Every structure is written in C-alpha cells, then in structure tokens.
Structure 1
Amino acid sequence: MESFYASVSMSPTFWFLSFVILFQLCVFILKAYSKRLNQQCYLLDYVCFKASDDRMLSTEMCGEIIQRNKNLGLEDYKFLLKVIVGSGLGEETYGPKDIIDGKELDMTSLNSGLAEVDVAFKQTLDKLFSKTKMHPSDIDILVVNVSMLSAMPSLASRIINRYKMKQDVKVFNLSGMGCSASLISLDMVRNLFKIHDDVTALVVTSECIGPNWYAGNQRSMLVANCLFRSGCCAMLLTNKRSCRARAKLKLKVLLRTHRGANDDAYGCALQQEDEQGLTGFYLGKSLPQAATEAFICNLRDLAPRILPVMELARYLVNRFLHKKSDSAQAGVDFKVAVDHFCIHPGGAAVINGVGRSLGLSQYDLEPARMALHRFGNTSASGLWYVLGYMEAKKRLKRGDRVLQISFGSGFKCNSAYWEVLRGLEDKDVWEDCVDRYPPETLVNPFLEKYAWIRELTSLPPM
C-alpha cells in the first residue's frame, strides 16, 4: 500500500492536479482580497452651496420679516428676540428669495419649493463636476435627500434629466430624514459599494425651507424660522482603488441610532399644521432629552469600534472602581482616537451640549460654531460646512481622523468616522470670509438695532 501512495505522489498527474488546486486557491484568495478593497468608500470631493448676496438675512431684513407676521403680539416679538440672540447665527446667513421678497404667505406652492432647490442643485453640481473633471454620465449611483419636499417625478429624477445621466444609474430619493440625512445617504452608498465594484456615487443633500416657513404664532413652531437657513452640499464618492490617490477622505466607520420607538423622541420634532392650518416645523421641549439619549446610544456602539484597547480597558477599570453612572461622560476619552470633531451646527445649545459630553475644547468646537454663525442651521448639509471650515483653516493633515456627529428628527443620532488621506486646504465656500473667522467676539447686532424690544426683556445689553 505504501508503495502505491509513493508512486501516485511521484506521478506527473498528481503534481499537475496539485498545481491546479493551489492555483485556484490563490485566485480565490486574490479575488476575495480584491473585493474587500473594492468595498472601501472614498470621498473624492464635495462642494457646498452659497446663495447670492441678495438672499442674505441681515439684521434689518430679519426684523422686517418678523414684523410682517401680523399674527404676532408683543410677547411673541420678545420671545423671538431671545431665540435669535441665543441662536449663534450672524448676519450673513441666507434665506429663500421669495421670503426675502415678502412672499412667505404664497410659499406653499410646489413650484416655489422646486425653484428653491433647483438653484442650489445647479450651483453645487455644476461646480462639483467642473472641479473633479467628472462627467455626469460617469455617475453610477445617485442619492438625493431633501426632507421636507416630495415631488413627482422625484428630485433625483430632476437632476438626472438636467444632466442627462445614463439609463442604468441607480437612483435613490430620500425624504423625511431630517438633519441627519446626509450620513444616511452615505450609509446607502457604502452598502451599495459592497456589492458593486468600481463605481462612482453622487450624493446631494439639501433642504427646502420656503414651503415650510411658519407664519403663525405658536412659539414651538416659530423657533425653526430663527434657526434654519438655505444650504446644500454635493459629494462625489467611489470605491475605485485607482482613485484613492486623489481622494480626500476614507470612510472607516458609520453608525446609525434611531430612537423612534420612544414616543417622546418620535414627537419632539415634527412637520405639522397649527390650529389655523399653517404648516411649520414643531420643536418640542423633549428635544434635548431625546438628543441626549440618542447621542449616548450612538457613542456606546461607536466607542469599541474606534477606541484603542488600552483606552477601553482604562474605562472599564474606572467604571468598576468608581461605580460611575452610565452616561456620555463615563470616562471615555474620544480624543485618543479623534483629531477633529465635526458637530452638526443645529444651534448653540446642540454644539455646547456635545462639547460638554465629550470634554471638548473651544478649539474643537470652533468649526461648528463658525459654520452656525456664517451659514446657520442648513439641516443635513450643515456637517459639510463645518468640514469645509476645517479644510479652509488647513487643519486637516494626512492621517488625521475626523468624527462627524449629526442629529435628526425621528429621533436619530448618526456618526461617521473618516481618515484624511492627504493634506487638505481647499477654501471652497469659505474662500471670501475664512480670514475673518474666528472673530474676537460673536456680536449679535439684533439687540442694538431693536433696542426698544431689548428694553422690554430681561436680556442684558451685549
């Protein structure tokens, strides 16, 4: 028997079969490795929208818009003053043209909403295609998110028609996802990259303010008028290995947390009508609590994925020895894994709350505060104005790690963890103003202009 096996092992047939099996095994391993590489998600570039100067909401313009609302009383004016002063917004944010022109009562028409988003889409996409030397026909995947405007054909179809994209482009149109929609769109792209090799994706994120401008007097719905501003961002992503050298960022981790099963979380931010049938966006008193709970849940899942083992071990020992409560401040130092924090500029309270939870410095919070001051809360595109500020200030160096944190109705908290692939210093939308930031003090001139209201409030002089 031994002589038989010896003769077989020495035969040419045995060696040939062994070579074939080994070769096929190597091919299988190489294909598996290649597929894994193709599942990477690279951000090639992005462009943020900046409206024309005639859409800028100066102090005087804000006052005129407020006073045009005949449903408001003196107490309502005092309330709005407090909101605007504490919002963190400056005088150079942008609003819809029709509202500035005094047509807010006629803004419920579909055509008005479509005109608003068309302007933003055209400017950002034209610039992105020109900047990247990419032709619209090269796009394999298109994801568009605008939460508060749903049209037929879809907004994504309008983009396809305008730029004459190819027939087999994979199209997704999202609505109702709120301020966290851009990271949801990225998550869709990332998952599609796992099953489609060598493709390019375009994500367009914006919001439609005009048709949802509130002309009533319910304070919980008036707040949104003071915070939300016009904005848009277009992003080009790919999983092509050949494009890695020109990419700006590489997506490492993306986590989504949804607290919609909780009634308070679900009802704290709603698009609705008031008793007069006027449409607006309601922001409830339970919003801070809902945001905190969603934030904690998201961080709990994120920490093991990005923190080094030694930091996790230190945290566990600290919890065991000191019996710390389960909170976002339970001793985890995210700075050991994150170089830059890109926080959703939803409002001063949001930025300050995240800063306290993570133990961030004024330097860490500066990009979000400056984006809020210059452009306001631009909903889902806000994260990219913050990232643009970091880039314009030349903060992003090769190998740096960036954490994006966003919140949205539902209630949701989503986070994305990126690696910077090369030194970035494109000023883009910040080009004409970044040298003025950060100012020594963020002065709100509204109080000085409308001192007669200030005298009726308990607010101190600025």
Structure 2
Amino acid sequence: MEFLVLVYLFSCFYLFFHFLRWFIVYRHQECYILGYECFKPSDDRMVSTEFCREILMRNKSLGLNEYKFLVKAVVDSGIGEQTYGPRNIIMGREQNPSLKDSHSEMDEFFQDSVQKLLSKHRISPGEIDVLVVNVSLFAPVPSLASKLVNHYKMRDDIKAYNLSGMGCSGSLISVSVAQSVLKHEKERYALVVTSESISPNWYSGNDRSMILSNSLFRSGGCVILLTNKMAQRKRAMFKLKHLVRIHHGARDESYGCCIQKEDSKGRVGFHLSKDLPKHAARCLADNLKVLVPMILPIRELVRYMLVVTLTAIKLKTRHHIMGAGTGHPSKKPVINFKTGVQHFCMHTGGKAVIDGIGENLKLTEFDLEPARMTLHRFGNTSACSLWYVLGYMEAKKRLKKGDRVLMLSFGAGFQCNSCLWEVMKDLDECDNVWMDCIKDYPPKTLVNPFVEKFGWIHNEDINTFTKL
C-alpha cells in the first residue's frame, strides 16, 4: 500500500513539474496571428481586358505564334479584369524601368497596409520587436526592411530580416523565421511584410518559357501581425499549429524549373519550365508525408493504412491467380483530408495549379472556391496570394472557433511549404480587402472577359487582333 501511495505521489509530482515547466517555458513559444491586412491598390492601377491587349501590342519582338500563345495563356488563366499592375506598366514604361519605379511600387503598399494594420490593433511601430520582409525580385541597399524601419522610426534593437529569391512561397518562410525568433524570446510582437516587385521585372523578349510570367502576375501585398504574448491570446485570430518546409534545391531539374535568367539575346526574364508541374507534385508529396501524420486523426491514418494493406493483398492474390500484367487497381487509396482540416488555403498560381491541388487532395468545388475567386479578382499576387484567399474565407464568414486552415504554397528553389492554423474565435465580423465586393462572389456564372473578347485569336490572323 505504501508503495502505491509513493507511486501516486511521484506521478502527481511528475505531472505538476511538467505543467510548471510548460507554464514557465513553453507557453511563450506559441505563435498567434492578431491580424493581417491585404493591400488593395487604387482603381487607376486596374488592368482591364483592353489594357492587356495594349500591353501585348507594345512588345515588338513577338511574332504571330507568340501573340497567340500569350492570348491563349490569358484566356485560360482564370484571371478577371479587376486585377492591378504597377504604375510604370500602366504608363507604358515597362521596358525601361527605373529604380524609382521599384521603390514607388513598394512605398504605396508599405505606407498603406502597415499603417492600417498597426492602427487597427492600436500598436505603435515602436512596439514591434521582429520585422521580416519578403520581396523576391527586388533587393535594394539599404534593404526594404531597413526602409520600413526608417519610415516608421522603429526601435534601434529591432530584429529585422530581409528575404529575397523565395518566390511564391515566401510568406510562409517569413512566418517560419518570425516563429523561430518568438520561440526563444518572450512577450514579443512580430511583423511579417510580404509582396512582389513587378515594376522592374517585365520581360521584353519572345522566349515562350519567359513571356508567360508577364501575363500571370499582378500587384498585391500583405502585412501579418504575430505575437507570443499570452495576454493577447483572447484577441488572436489564429494559432500556428504546424509548419513544414520542403526544399528540392539539391535536385538539378527541380532547381532549374523556375528560375530567373537571360534569354539568347541577353534579356532578363523568369523561366518557367514545362516540367514545373511534375516537380511541384513531387515536392508536394514529400511535404504531405511530413505534414499528414501531424494534422489527421489516428482513425483516418489507421483507415488509410488498412486500405493500402488490403489493396496490396488483393493485387498480390490477383497476380498469383492470373499471372503478371494484371495492372493496377482502378481506384487508388485516398486520404480524406477533411477529417482533420476544414478549410484549404492554396496559392493562386493559375487555374491549372488550383485544379491540380484539388485533384491530388480530392477537394470539392466548395473547398476550391476561395482560391478560384481570389485568382479571378486579384490574380496571382505571388507570396501574398494565400492571405487574399484567407480574407475571402473570413469575408464569407466560413471561419469558426476551432476550425483548422491548411495553407499550401510553392516557390522557386524548388520548394513546397505548408502550415496549419487553428481559428481562435468565430470570425463573423471583418473589415478586409474583400468587403466592397464579397456580395458579388461567387457569381452564378464566372464570365472570363478574355474569352469573350479574345478567345478566338488563336484561330485568326494576328492583323485582325492588332486593329481592334
């Protein structure tokens, strides 16, 4: 009896010790989102269907086949005509950009969205402890992070990080950097600023693998306010549960499938390989191998393993009875992601990207709707596109306390990054970038204006097109 009492007391002491250790050390390692602000450029930067035609006509190095290829790419992209471009392209100076154009594009975003987010949460710039800025294709000196520190007069001891070359997966990498700092320092605020520089990166040549990026990318940006302060827990919108990063840069083909380079005439552009979908699929598969055991309930993992085992047994039995060459089963075992995730927030790289992820994860049109509508309204805004998708879910009042949101993104390198957020409270009231138009989405019929006006171009003479 005395032995049992000692075991009981020891167990209680052990549990108390671990609770106390968690309370003192680990509770400050949580990472919460207090808020985020997506950038909406002014209407004079809107890229209409007619204006897209104008831009195409400016590139005199394009031949008939290249014009057809570009128009077909725009027609098939899923992008609407309310997206935004940088001012130098709007003004017809895309082939001779200046350093001032690049800074101006960033300044509009910085001075609008950072100020809005801090004001909304009544936090002064001097309270920010960690700053992470991600813009892949613009790396001036001093850095963009320093530019923000200077503009908002942030503290001398702020930890500022400036990331470049991370591609469309940059925002989750930035969150990962901020999370790493928050794990080792108590009671901190972190600001993640993510965008892309379109102004200086217009390709003026005729290489098909490089002109495609001209028609896919649009202007945007997002600012995310993170904290590990326990006192702010009740105000938080989301809690970071898991973050997984996979990098295939050691593989030469993966490294070169999405790369900035010069064409045969020395013109700099962004090369997108035709094998990019294959490398993206491999990277996604490796990411999910790590992520799935973290996010799905045990019952779903057990069910999947049983199905895989039974399928293997059936194949082996059929092989012995009928001989070799009997082929594969008509239906492959499928993981049901909906058992552990309620919402799917994916990069809006294009209609094909959304369709591909939807097919691989066996998602419904309801699950894909936020990404499709974001692509139509804002286009591919690179690393910040995930947050426009999240904003759509919030504006539609889909996010309820306890729900879990999976973010998936791809980037040059080649990389696939993912993270899982838990919704901390019912998000029934919001004031974000979607509020002035959310009532119009999803439309009964998603009309593609490019199809209506230019869908016939790849079957007609280019001379007719240029005279429109």
- Residues 258 and 270, structure 2, Cα contact 8 Å, conserved in 1: yes
Residue 17 of structure 1 is matched in structure 2 by none
TM-score for the superposition, normalised by structure 1: 0.90
Residue 291 of structure 1 is matched in structure 2 by 280
Offset, 1:43: 0.2
Is 1:55 the counterpart of 2:45? The answer is yes
Is 1:401 the counterpart of 2:417? The answer is no
Residue 13 of structure 1 is matched in structure 2 by none
Q: Which amino acid aligns with 2:460?
A: L
Q: Which sits farther off after the overlay, 114-123 or 347-356?
A: 114-123
Q: Which amino acid aligns with 2:174?
A: S
Is 1:45 the counterpart of 2:48? The answer is no
Aligned pair partner of 1:104 in 88, 94, 112: 94
How far apart are the structure 2 equivalents of 1:106 and 1:30?
62
- Residues 72 and 458, structure 2, Cα contact 8 Å, conserved in 1: no
Equivalences for 1:144-183 in 2 at 5 Å? 144-183=133-172
Aligned pair partner of 1:444 in 448, 451, 466: 448
Aligned pair partner of 2:205 in 195, 213, 216: 216
Q: Which amino acid aligns with 1:38?
A: H
SS of the equivalent of 1:432 reads coil
- Residues 337 and 361, structure 2, Cα contact 8 Å, conserved in 1: yes
Residue 297 of structure 2 is matched in structure 1 by 308
SS of the equivalent of 1:265 reads helix
- CA shift digits 1:102-146 (9 cap, x unpaired): 001111x32221111111111110111111111000000000000
Residue 75 of structure 1 is matched in structure 2 by 65
SS of the equivalent of 1:407 reads strand
Offset, 1:32: 4.1
Percent identity over the alignment?
55
Q: Which amino acid aligns with 2:440?
A: R
How far apart are the structure 2 equivalents of 1:120 and 1:420?
27
Equivalences for 1:25-424 in 2 at 5 Å? 30-107=20-97, 109-323=98-312, 330-424=333-427
Offset, 1:31: 4.6
How far apart are the structure 2 equivalents of 1:443 and 1:454?
19
How far apart are the structure 2 equivalents of 1:414 and 1:76?
33
- CA shift digits 1:225-247 (9 cap, x unpaired): 11100010000000000001110
How far apart are the structure 2 equivalents of 1:447 and 1:351?
19
SS of the equivalent of 1:60 reads helix
How far apart are the structure 2 equivalents of 1:452 and 1:240?
57
- Residues 113 and 149, structure 1, Cα contact 8 Å, conserved in 2: yes
How far apart are the structure 1 equivalents of 2:373 and 2:450?
18
SS of the equivalent of 2:25 reads helix
Deviation above 6 Å: which 4+ runs of structure 1? 25-28
How far apart are the structure 1 equivalents of 2:160 and 2:102?
21
- Residues 389 and 427, structure 1, Cα contact 8 Å, conserved in 2: no
Aligned pair count? Answer: 434
How far apart are the structure 2 equivalents of 1:362 and 1:29?
44
Residue 319 of structure 2 is matched in structure 1 by none
Task: Quickly say closer, same or farther: Cα 1:393–1:28, change in 2 above 3 A.
Answer: closer
- Residues 399 and 419, structure 1, Cα contact 8 Å, conserved in 2: yes
TM-score for the superposition, normalised by structure 2: 0.89
Task: Quickly say closer, same or farther: Cα 1:345–1:33, change in 2 above 3 A.
Answer: same
Offset, 1:185: 0.7
How far apart are the structure 1 equivalents of 2:454 and 2:125?
49
- CA shift digits 1:267-311 (9 cap, x unpaired): 110111212222211100110001000000111111111111111
- Residues 75 and 454, structure 2, Cα contact 8 Å, conserved in 1: no
How far apart are the structure 2 equivalents of 1:165 and 1:393?
35
Q: Which sits farther off after the overlay, 113-122 or 160-169?
A: 113-122
Unaligned runs of 5+ in 2: 1-11, 313-326, 462-468
Offset, 1:101: 0.5
How far apart are the structure 2 equivalents of 1:452 and 1:200?
53
How far apart are the structure 1 equivalents of 2:106 and 2:266?
24
SS of the equivalent of 1:439 reads coil
Q: Which sits farther off after the overlay, 426-435 or 379-388?
A: 426-435
Task: Quickly say closer, same or farther: Cα 1:376–1:412, change in 2 above 3 A.
Answer: same
- Residues 388 and 427, structure 1, Cα contact 8 Å, conserved in 2: no
How far apart are the structure 1 equivalents of 2:184 and 2:70?
50
How far apart are the structure 1 equivalents of 2:274 and 2:54?
28
Q: Which amino acid aligns with 2:242?
A: V
Task: Quickly say closer, same or farther: Cα 1:303–1:27, change in 2 above 3 A.
Answer: closer
How far apart are the structure 1 equivalents of 2:276 and 2:248?
12
How far apart are the structure 1 equivalents of 2:150 and 2:138?
18
Residue 320 of structure 2 is matched in structure 1 by none
Q: RMSD value over aligned CA atoms?
A: 2.1
- Residues 391 and 427, structure 1, Cα contact 8 Å, conserved in 2: no
- Residues 198 and 240, structure 1, Cα contact 8 Å, conserved in 2: yes
Aligned pair partner of 1:426 in 414, 424, 430: 430
How far apart are the structure 2 equivalents of 1:311 and 1:447?
42
Q: Which amino acid aligns with 2:26?
A: R
Q: Which amino acid aligns with 2:48?
A: S
SS of the equivalent of 1:63 reads helix
- Residues 406 and 413, structure 1, Cα contact 8 Å, conserved in 2: yes
